[in-house]
């Protein structure tokens, strides 16, 4: 028998509860998983509405928590915004968490740069070291200004001891 034509074993709400016990999901992620399990759109909408009503699914709280987690991993705001988008967080719910993480983006860029410079210790050419460090920060989603501020604090002609003491 075709898998799509089979009736799901559990109700959409029961399946939602099973999915949400393993990890937090956004509404879009939950919708996608339930749709793949063979539930109809109306069953899925009802289950998501019930989960939202009970507080099991909250995209706003998810966005705040996920942005904090990504920021603590050393990612910049552009990368955080992209990850929130990939998880299905609506644009209007992305604004507040991004404003909150923007406050310390320069500090995070400096911490990420400190880590990268340890890996670049063998690079002897200061220009190449600076370019690699800049590409690393941009790749982690930091803004141009944050990258420039972090790179500007480092003397690439010296060794790792060139880090400012105020970090």
Supply the DSSP string of 131-165, one letter for each residue.
HHHHHHHHHTT--HHHHHHHHHT--TTS-GGGS-T
Q: Does residue 158 share a domain with residue 111?
A: yes
- Pull the structure tokens for residue 164: 């400012």
Phi and psi based region of residue 142 (left: phi greater than 0; alpha: psi -120 to 50; beta: remaining): beta
- Number of domains within the chain: 3
CB burial string 49-76: b at 16+ within 10 A, e below:
eebeeeebbbbeebbbebbeebbeebbb
pLDDT at position 7 is: 64
Contact 142, 112 (CB under 8 A): yes
- Pull the structure tokens for residue 84: 């929130």
- Pull the structure tokens for residue 14: 């029961």
pLDDT at position 53 is: 94
Closest listed residue to residue 75, CA positions, set 10, 143, 25 = 143
Q: 56-81, pLDDT tens digit by residue? A: 999 999 999 999 999 999 999 999 99
29 within a domain of the structure (yes/no): yes
Contact 30, 16 (CB under 8 A): yes
Q: Does residue 113 share a domain with residue 97?
A: no
Q: Does residue 96 share a domain with residue 145?
A: no
Contact 129, 166 (CB under 8 A): no
Closest listed residue to residue 136, CA positions, set 70, 66, 77, 74 = 74
167 within a domain of the structure (yes/no): no
pLDDT at position 63 is: 95
Residue 90 lies in domain? 59-102
1 within a domain of the structure (yes/no): no
Q: Does residue 131 share a domain with residue 82?
A: no
Q: Does residue 151 share a domain with residue 110?
A: yes
Tens-level pLDDT at each residue, the chain (167 residues)? 345 556 667 789 999 999 999 999 999 999 999 999 999 999 999 999 999 999 999 999 999 999 999 999 999 999 999 999 999 999 999 999 999 988 899 999 999 999 898 888 888 888 999 999 999 999 999 999 999 999 999 887 764 444 555 54
Contact 137, 146 (CB under 8 A): yes
Say which residue the tokens 């002897």 belong to.
124
Q: Does residue 122 share a domain with residue 86?
A: no
Q: Does residue 98 share a domain with residue 109?
A: no
Number of Cβ within a 10 Å radius of residue 78: 17
pLDDT at position 164 is: 52
């Amino acid at each position: 028998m075709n898998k799509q034509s089979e009736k799901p074993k559990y109700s959409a709400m029961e399946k939602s509860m099973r999915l949400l016990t393993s990890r937090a999901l956004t509404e879009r992620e939950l919708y996608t998983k339930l749709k793949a399990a063979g539930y109809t759109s109306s069953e899925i909408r009802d289950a998501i509405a019930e989960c939202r009503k009970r507080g099991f699914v909250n995209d706003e709280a998810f966005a705040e928590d996920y942005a904090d987690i990504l920021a603590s991993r050393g990612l910049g705001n552009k990368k955080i915004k992209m990850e929130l988008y990939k998880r299905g967080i609506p644009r209007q719910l992305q604004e507040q968490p991004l404003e909150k993480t923007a406050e310390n983006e320069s500090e995070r860029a400096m911490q990420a740069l400190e880590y990268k410079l340890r890996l670049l210790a063998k690079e002897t050419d200061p220009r190449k070291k600076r370019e690699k460090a800049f590409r690393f920060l941009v790749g982690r989603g930091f803004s141009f200004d944050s990258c420039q501020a972090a790179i500007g604090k480092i003397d690439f002609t010296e060794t790792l001891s060139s880090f400012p003491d105020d970090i």
